[in-house]
Amino acid sequence: MKTILLIEDTPELAQVIKRELELAGHHVLHASAGLAGLALHEREPPDLVILDWMLPDVDGLELLRRLRGRATTPVLMLTARSDELDRVLGLEVGADDYLTKPFGMRELVARVRALLRRAETVASTLSADRAQPTEVLTFGPLRLDAAAYRATLDGNDLELTPTEFSLLSLLLRSPGRAFGRAYLLDTVWGQSYVGGDRTVDNAVLRLRKKLGAVGDAIETVWGVGYRLREGGSM
């Protein structure tokens, strides 16, 4: 059973949504105002949030910004706004999906199911990425042995912080894979990403310097994050 937080101020609509989601097997928490919803999210962290854009106390978009500042909970926005620019704005602020009013309950339940399934997939990948590898990882003259907690370059020990070690381990396990800054922050630091945060960029900069010429293989993916060049060569 998944817990869903519904933040919706229209009593009739909230009642129908709550009933349909409970019939689908979910546990539903309800708040009729934004600040109350934020407090409820803090007190009983849900698996998914359904958030109305127009709320009596706090604009739904502002509430979404606050939620994203503290959690990565999937958010489905409900809006009467049909303008494409408004929908794009919601997605850019951090909404995972949206429904334009009026909508059918079958579609709502299907969107909720899809978002929960996607979140489970991400959580599974995240768990695997956070786990330390059992095998020795190599990239040219670079060697990382997680079991011995040792990284060497041309046979010389590298003095890496725990964060740098975890970051390098993640990149070495998936050469060619692009990692977003938010994902790296969540995986390596265990923190939620806040726009403008330079934590990841600064850590990559320090790691590149310590790796010397090999550090050039950590490529910047503009607008996304970083990846390790495929092929194991500089």
Structure token pair of residue 199: 């934590």
- Asked if residue 231 has pLDDT above 70, the reply is yes
| Contact predicate 41/85, CB 8 Å | no
Burial 101-113 (b: 16+ CB within 10 A, else e): eeeeeeebbebbe
Domain 131-228: CATH class, spelled out: mainly alpha
Sequential DSSP letters for 45-103? --SEEEEES--SSS-HHHHHHHHHTT----EEEEES---HHHHHHHHHHT-SEEEESS-
Domains 3-129 and 131-228 share a fold: no
- Asked if residue 187 has pLDDT above 70, the reply is yes
118 — pLDDT class (breaks 50, 70, 90) = confident
**In sequence order, which residues have a C-beta less than 8 Å from that of residue 131 and are 6 or more positions away?**
none
| Mean pLDDT value of segment 116-134 | 75
Indicate yes or no: pTM above 0.75. no
Q: How many whole angstroms separate alpha carbon 54 and alpha carbon 227?
A: 39
**How many alpha carbons lie under 13 Å from residue 140 in its C-beta half-sphere?**
18
Structure-derived torsion over alpha carbons of residues 45, 128, 111, 181, reported in degrees to the nearest 10: 80
Tell me yes or no: is domain 3-129 CATH 3.40.50.2300.
yes
The pLDDT score that the predictor gives to residue 87 is 64
193 — pLDDT class (breaks 50, 70, 90) = very low
97 — pLDDT class (breaks 50, 70, 90) = confident
**CA angle at 24 for the pair 41 and 92, rounded to the nearest 5°:** 45
What does the domain layout of the chain look like in residue ranges? 3-129, 131-228
| Mean pLDDT value of segment 196-223 | 89
The pLDDT score that the predictor gives to residue 153 is 95
